[in-house]
Structure 1
Amino acid sequence: MPRRKVTPFSLSFLDIMFCGFGAVVLLVLILNHETVKTRNEVFTDLRAETVRLEKEVLIGEEDLVEARNSLQATEKEIVLMQGQSERVINTIEDLEIEIAQMSRETLANRAHINQLSTDLKSLDEQKKRLGAVAPADRDAGEKVREFKGEGDRQYLTGLKMGGERILILMDASASMLDQTIINIIRRRNMSGASRKNAPKWQRALKTADWLVSNLPATSQFQLYTFNTAARPALAGSDGKWLQASTRTDVDGAVNALRELAPAGGTSLYHAFSVVKALQPRP
């Protein structure tokens, strides 16, 4: 049997060609799938990296805003601190000026004090040389009558007795028996000796004694008591002035006052009518 002729376009040749083409297509598909997968993975990674970078950018922008705000706040604080530092510097300069002035004044005061101390020593020496009288003796010589109180007690602190004619009016009514009305009524019905020893009346007697003892020696005086009527403490001296330099007048008036016992009501009209009756007037 004769053989077939071999031609380039036989069926077998076409099969081989199509098989090769299919293999190429299959290879292309496999390679394309791997490429797409790799590309997607790379894209996913790039996407994640992009998102991360965007977040970092946002965080960086927020940090930048906070940094700018902090910078502005810091600049304001710096301005305030500069102002405060300037005020502190000015205050320190003013204080230094005041301290320097006070130092000069202190030196001047010390010099003045030293001068006064020197003058005082000089006066003390002059006083010793002149044989000045002791203050206690001088004070005792100015009193018309010796007065002994309780310790160093002063009955009328700051009061200075002065004048040419001095009238002392003393309330001798029952109101001088005590501070309260109940005790006044109770003491009013007691004996004369009990009324004389009433604490309020004794304080009044000591006050009157102190006043008479501190009369100027060159003055005239009169001591009147009053309740419902006014009368002189020293009997027989009605309408007359007594002499503070006369010891009998001074002691007589004080001693006569101690013999009285408070009684009766209070009449200020009769008390002040004494002022009009005395001639010349106090």
Structure 2
Amino acid sequence: MKSRRAPIEVFSLSFLDVISCAFGAVVMLILLARNGDDGQFNDVNQVSTLLQSLNRAEANVSSLQSAIATQDAKLQQAQSSTASNQRQADNLASAIARAEQDVQALTDKSSGLEQIKERRQRAAISTNTTEQRDEEVGGIPVDADYVIFIVDTSGSMKAMWEKVLITMDEVLNNHPAVSGFQIMSDNGEFLLSTSSGRWRADSPSQRRTMLAAMRTWGGSSNSSPVEGIESALRIYGPKTSSLALYVLGDDYSGGSYDDTLASINRLNTNRVSGEKIARIHAIGFSRSNGQLTADIVKFSTLMREVTRQNNGTFIAN
């Protein structure tokens, strides 16, 4: 006989317990969830506001970057302007320095011209006066019928060439009229080779021509007047008994003073009468800054003695 099973009850007490516990857990989770922190970004409006703020911040950053770029451009422009202004200031300072040098040069030229004029007015000695120079006045005798200029054409003299030309003009004006004149370099070369060994006839136009030729004269020089003096005495000494040499220079590069003086005196002495053939004068030029160099001292030492022994005058210009 088959045993009968007890019927299964779905809604038994155990089942209800389980259901109740599960329901309670769900309720508890709901309660806990509602009492918890929802966070900052669970609201759509807040997210939208944050996005708008972010967009504005990005726009502000872009604007600031543009402003920074503009300021950088202005800074670079200002720096360029400053550099340009500095260059202009430097150029202006250089121009001022050059102007001051020009003023000083003009002042030196004016001073030299005034000195020459003063000496001429004070001390010019006319024809047929004493054979001895006046030591107190320092005048240059102007009684010669023929005149030769021996001019140092070295670089140091070319640096003050305008002063040399002014002096030449003044010395020529000391001689209202001569029978003839010539211009030679300190090496004995003629200013104009077409008249080598001959005299240039004296006239206002001839004087202007020779002075104009001197402006572009590129004659060679060894910064010693000895060769020019000796050449002039050899060529023109036998041709006249009324001769004057004017030596214009600033340097003497030669050796023994005694040997040089002996050579010049021998050439400048008439063998028959023992008298001097030519008066030898000298004008010594100094640098525009007044610096007294060893070369100038040597030239002055030599020419003072040459002029003293040959009835001439030495003038420091």
Say whether the fold is shared (TM-score over 0.5). Answer: no
Higher helix proportion (structure 1 or 2): 1
TM-score by length of 1: 0.34
- The structure number with the bigger radius of gyration is 1
TM-score by length of 2: 0.30
